[in-house]
Structures are given as structure tokens and as C-alpha cells.
Structure 1
Amino acid sequence: MMEPALPEGLILHPDGRPRCWWAGLDPLYVAYHDTEWGVPEFDGRALYEKLILDGFQAGLSWLTILRRREGFRAAFDGFSPEAIARYTEADVARLMADTGIIRNRAKILGTIAGARAWLRIEESGPGFSRFLWDFCEGQPIQANPHSRADIATETEVSRRIAKALKAEGFSFCGPTIVHAFMQAVGMVNDHLTDCHRHGACAALARA
């Protein structure tokens, strides 16, 4: 008897668990899919780091960034906004010479501007985490996609967040990048419903 076909966008791994197609078989990517992607993140510094890395990803694969994440963390002082906000042209030159990161001057300058914006948001309101999570009323959105075709590349919420971030001084944060960011930090649960991580992330949202 033939096994029933998997929903489009789902792959069955050798360990017998179905996963979202994008995880592929690379162990680093699979671990990221299984332990980080879609898990609700409320720490403001961690949210800043992920938003910046998603900006660096523009035009590249996320796996490229993931393989260099520790290099980014070392180069950018652990993504401490307080430290990055004080960067000077000498730091920009240092980063442009660092082979452990993606050397893009506009994105480096955007990281510094974003750190300064992060500090303003922290100092003038409820904080960066609340600033972002208020757009989805503090609760992860359960998208419940059944197939790859059901997953949006941007939404009305991601468009509103992108507009608000740009108004605060962030760059490389268009609606598509912001939606990818929201998926990653659990603001939206976009694991396919038959992926083994969908239910776990939904349970974290309820908790």
C-alpha cells in the first residue's frame, strides 16, 4: 500500500518527523527549525539582534547568516545596542574588514542607526519588546498554514510594523523582512500544521 502524500511544503526526515521544507537536511538548519524558529521571543535585545540579522540576510539565504551568527555576535559586541550605538567611523572600518560577517557598509550603518533607535524606544516608552508585540496584541498569531502556498510573504501587520520601525530610524526592515522576522521570533506561528513543531509552538503561545 502506498504511503499518503505529504502536504506540499512538508518533508519527512530520517528521524521520522515531518518538518517545514525550508529546513532541508543541513543539521544546523534543522536544529534552528526545531529549537528557535517560531518560539515566542520577548527579550528586547534578542529581538534587536534577530531584526538586524534578518536585514543582513536580504539578498542571501538565512543559512548563510546562520553559519556566521557567532561571527556577527563577536563583531557587534554581542548585539548590545548600548555598545553599538557608540560606534564610530573606526568601528565601521573595523567591521568592513571583518571576514566573519557580511561586509555591507549600508547594513552596518543601519545596525548602528537601529541601535540608537532601540535606545530611544527603550527610554521613551514601554520598551522595544512591547513596541513590537503590541502590533499583535501581545499574543503570537496562529496562521495554521496547511501547505507552503498558505504561507504569506508579508501581511498587513508586517506592513504596519515595517512602517513604524522605519519611522523610528531602522532600515532594511521592509514588510517581507519584517514578516520573516515575525515568523522567526514567534510573533506568528507559520510552521505547517503537520510539522512536528507546529503544536509545540502553539502550546508556547498559550502558555
Structure 2
Amino acid sequence: MNRLADFLTVDPAHRLLVIKSAADHASRAHRGQFRKDQKTPYITHPARVAGLVGTFNGSHAAIIAAWLHDVYEDCSPEWLVATDKLIAHLPLPVDDRQEIAGIVEALTKKNTISKKSARLSDSIERILDAPPEATLVKICDRIDNLLDSADRNGGFTKHYLESTDEIIDRLSVRASLYGYDTALGILVQIRNSNLKKL
């Protein structure tokens, strides 16, 4: 590796600038979109997920993937192409760019699968084959979505808790293996808290 590449892989200020560029890109991609309450700008979700990933000691690659994780599901085809280009040209080592792409791809549910539960199962299968931090990003994504769903109707919450159980069951071994026990434990606590409200 050359000296510039060495510098780019270790310089925290550089990593922060790259994270900011991903955050700015996600903000533009999700502009005009809202959460289920139709009031909260959608970008608050990737922002909170990225914050959680950082809180649980996720790498810069995982934080970037958290910012971008919903673009492929929720944005126009033009943004998908733009996001592919962004990831491919991030001023990071190739391994980091591949990790970001792998995490985002694993978390993206395939709209070609008609049944919602099958889409989640397929995504979890891909998470299990993806870079390890895909597990952390998925756990953080579900933590935020559960916190955000607290005010929804009981039918939605019951279904969402059932799918959360699948995430917990299928990702728990990998979470433990890679040191994401604290994040998983918080997900379990929030799940249990929501269950008591039903």
C-alpha cells in the first residue's frame, strides 16, 4: 500500500469527511420523504441508525452503509445509479468500498419477492453471508424502527415484533461472535417493552 493510501485508511478527519458525503447524499436521496407519521423527515431514520452504529463501535464503513441502507428500497432509480457511483468512487480503500456495498446490498429487501416475511428472510440470509458489520447495521435499523413504531396500531406492532423475533433468532449467534451483544441486548429489551404494551 502506498503512503497516501495508508494515510487515508487511518486519518479520522478523512473518514469523517467521507461519512459526511454519504450523509449528504442520503439526505438528497430521501428529500421529500417522510416516516410513517407523515411529519418526520425520512432522513432522521438513517441518521439515527448511523448514530447507533457509531455508538456500538461500528467502523466508518458500517456508518456509511447505515446512512445509505434505505436508498435502494425507497428512492427512484436515478438515486440507485447515483448511489452505486458514490460507493464506487468513495476516497477509501477498495476493501472498504466493497464492505459498504456488501452491507447495503444485504440490508436491501428485494421488491421482486412479493411476501413481506419472505423478503425479510431473504435479506437475513444475505446478511449472514455479508461482511460482519451488516449484522450490526441490521440490529441498529430494527432498534430505531421499533422505537419509531411505538405509537402505531396493535396489529402492525404484533407483526413487527414477530419479524423482530426472526431477526433476533437468526442473527444472535453472529452478533455474539462479532461482539454486538450489547446492541442485540438493547434490541431484545425494546422488543420486550413493546410486547408488554400490546
Same fold flag (TM > 0.5): no
Higher relative contact order (CA 8 A, sep 6+): 1
Query: Which of structures 1 and 2 has the bigger CA Rg?
Result: 1
Higher strand fraction: Structure 1 or Structure 2?
A: 1
Please identify which structure carries the higher helix content: 2
* TM-score of the two chains, using structure 2 as the length reference: 0.31
TM-score by length of 1: 0.31
